[in-house]
RNA sequence: GUCAAGGUGGCGGAGUGGACAAUCGCACCAGACUGUAAAUCUGGCGCCCGAACGGGCUACGGGGGUUCGAAUCCCUCCCUUGACA
């Protein structure tokens, strides 16, 4: 088996831990951030850019790649990683999240297309946002798609819970998720047993349950009993507000095994959210807003630059006050962008909608997150994690 | 010089007697951003007072007029563009 998680160091006072995930395509030193390459592309960057920004792993999406360019195309390239010329470890998401929240993401220019999804125990019926064609996603189909996309880490099909759902609907989603994960596991086992190329994909089960401690624990127990190689935690509570995320994680921190990594799906909340999540045992996470914010001009800065909880560790480079500013985005940052370009120039690029602006800001934000994770890992290993956390967050909220 | 069309907020451009401090777009300002249907979306955008409902002032080239009421109608002047000389 080409997949393992080994602890390097466990923090004494918190659940924070440093470890190494080994995959057929290399190691991931944790805690780690995974940039999101939904459609086999981190918007604006080449794989060399990603590498230079210290990226260890990227995450792509089954829903999007299935609809376009299609599974066969990618299979012929040997997976989405060779397709995008990425040589390191990779993750794919099952597509459950996408289908679940399609209905609320209708965009004005695409309003002509049917966008309702219908979920039954059998699967998720949905209409393509591209051409309106009808499709169904089941645990088996999701596993087959992800098998073809050939990431090192794949996700079971789930139906994420939401604060906007009724109690009843959330209960259904929870029960259905357990059922689908079990089914995903069976199909995955079968696909792995038939494998001829000596590779291996690690299937992660997803813990649902929002901030309900009982459900979270029950779900974790189910995932461990079933024997998934890794654990993911999902649904809407792993989101923007670090305190709600913390509440969800607190339910399971004590029960995390040492030999399985915990992935937080879509972990939000900026650097503050990262510290709170790592405090509670998160080893790896992905987040789309890091790169999305880069595109809209929200750039991360260090405490040395004035970054703090109050300003969410970021500045808005599009703001008129940066026009003509000759300083780099951050004086502390060692990314390609900060080493070579000024705030004034980047301000100009984004305001003028020059594509180069997106590339430079995305490089910076990804480098920032990766560097933050490197610092956190180092602090855990050197027994000063809480010290680092306090330095960043000020008076700790924990 | 004659004829024609036109002059509206930072810009473009609607409105052609009351519902107009004036649609809309751009620019500008602020905010948001979860397993990316996002280089997107939301809000503000004459000045002053107010937390808000709201109130006051100044404004559709200048001046004058008609009218209870004018960005809108009439007179006159100035300016722009096009055609003819």
Which residue out of A49, A152, A250, A286 is catalytically annotated? A286
Q: Please measure the distance between the N-terminal and C-terminal CA atoms of chain A and give it in whole angstroms.
A: 38
A250 is catalytic: no
Mean pLDDT of chain A, nearest integer: 93
Using a 7 Å cut-off to protein CB atoms, list the covered nucleotides of chain B.
27-42
- Residue A107 pLDDT exceeds 60: no
Whether the pLDDT of residue A108 is over 60: the answer is no
Sheet (strand A262-264) strand order: A32-34, A284-286, A262-264, A230-233, A202-207, A153-155, A90-93, A58-61
CA/C1' separation A395–B52 (Å): 36
ipTM of this model? 0.88
Which residues, in sequence order, are CB contacts of A306 under 8 Å at separation 6+? none
Sheet holding A17-23, edge to edge: A4-10, A17-23, A26-30
pLDDT at A294 over 60: yes
Map tokens 């079990």 to a residue: A182
DSSP A178-204: HHHHHHHHHHHHHHHHT--SS---EEE
CA of A318 to C1' of B61 (A): 37
Which nucleotide C1' is nearest A268 CA? B34
Cα A63 to Cα A345: distance, rounded to the nearest angstrom = 37
- Which residues are bridge partners to A314 per DSSP? A300
pLDDT digits (tens, 9 = 90+) for A324-357: 899 999 999 999 999 999 999 999 999 999 999 9
Looking at the DSSP bridge assignments, the partners of residue A264 are: A233, A285
- Say what the pLDDT of residue A165 is: 86
Query: Annotation-wise, does A335 bind a ligand?
Result: yes
Question: With 90 as the cut, is the pLDDT of residue A225 above it?
Answer: yes
Structural domains of chain A in order of their starting residue, each with its CATH number: 4-94+144-287 (3.20.20.105), 295-393 (no CATH)
- In this prediction the pTM is 0.93
In this prediction, residues A237-252 reach a mean pLDDT of 90
């Amino acid at each position: 088996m080409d997949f393992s998680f080994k602890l390097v160091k466990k923090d004494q006072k918190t659940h924070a831990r440093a470890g190494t995930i080994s995959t057929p395509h290399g190691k991931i030193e944790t805690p780690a951030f995974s940039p999101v390459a939904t459609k086999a592309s981190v918007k604006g960057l080449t794989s060399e850019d990603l590498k230079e920004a210290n990226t260890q792993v990227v995450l792509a999406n089954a829903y999007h790649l299935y609809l376009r360019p299609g599974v066969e195309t990618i299979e012929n390239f040997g997976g989405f990683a060779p397709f995008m010329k990425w040589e390191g470890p990779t993750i794919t998401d099952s597509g459950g999240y996408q289908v679940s929240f399609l209905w609320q993401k209708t965009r004005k220019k695409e309003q002509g297309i049917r966008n309702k999804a219908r979920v039954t125990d059998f699967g998720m019926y949905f209409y393509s946002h591209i051409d309106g064609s009808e499709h169904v996603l089941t645990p088996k189909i999701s596993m087959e798609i992800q098998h073809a996309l050939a990431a090192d880490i794949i996700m079971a099909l789930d139906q994420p819970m939401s604060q906007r759902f009724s109690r009843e609907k959330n209960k259904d989603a929870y029960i259905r998720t357990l059922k689908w994960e079990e089914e995903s596991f069976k199909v995955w086992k079968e696909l792995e047993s038939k494998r001829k190329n000596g590779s291996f994909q690690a299937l992660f089960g997803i813990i649902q349950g929002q901030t309900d401690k009982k459900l979270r624990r029950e779900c974790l127990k189910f995932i461990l009993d079933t024997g998934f190689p890794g654990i993911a935690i999902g649904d809407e509570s792993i989101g923007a507000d670090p305190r709600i995320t913390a509440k969800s994680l607190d339910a399971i921190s004590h029960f995390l095994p040492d030999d399985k990594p915990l992935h937080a799906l879509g972990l939000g909340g900026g650097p503050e959210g990262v510290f709170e999540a790592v405090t509670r045992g998160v080893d790896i996470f992905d987040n789309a807003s890091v790169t999305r914010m880069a595109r809209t001009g929200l750039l991360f800065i260090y405490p040395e630059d004035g970054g703090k909880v109050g300003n969410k560790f970021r500045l808005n480079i599009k703001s008129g006050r940066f026009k003509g500013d000759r300083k780099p985005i951050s004086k502390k940052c060692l990314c390609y962008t900060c080493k070579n370009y000024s705030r004034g120039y980047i301000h100009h690029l984004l305001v003028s909608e020059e594509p180069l602006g997106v590339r430079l800001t995305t490089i910076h934000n990804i480098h920032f997150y990766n560097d933050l994770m490197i610092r956190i890992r180092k602090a855990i290993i050197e027994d000063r994690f809480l010290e680092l956390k306090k330095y960043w967050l000020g008076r700790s909220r924990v």
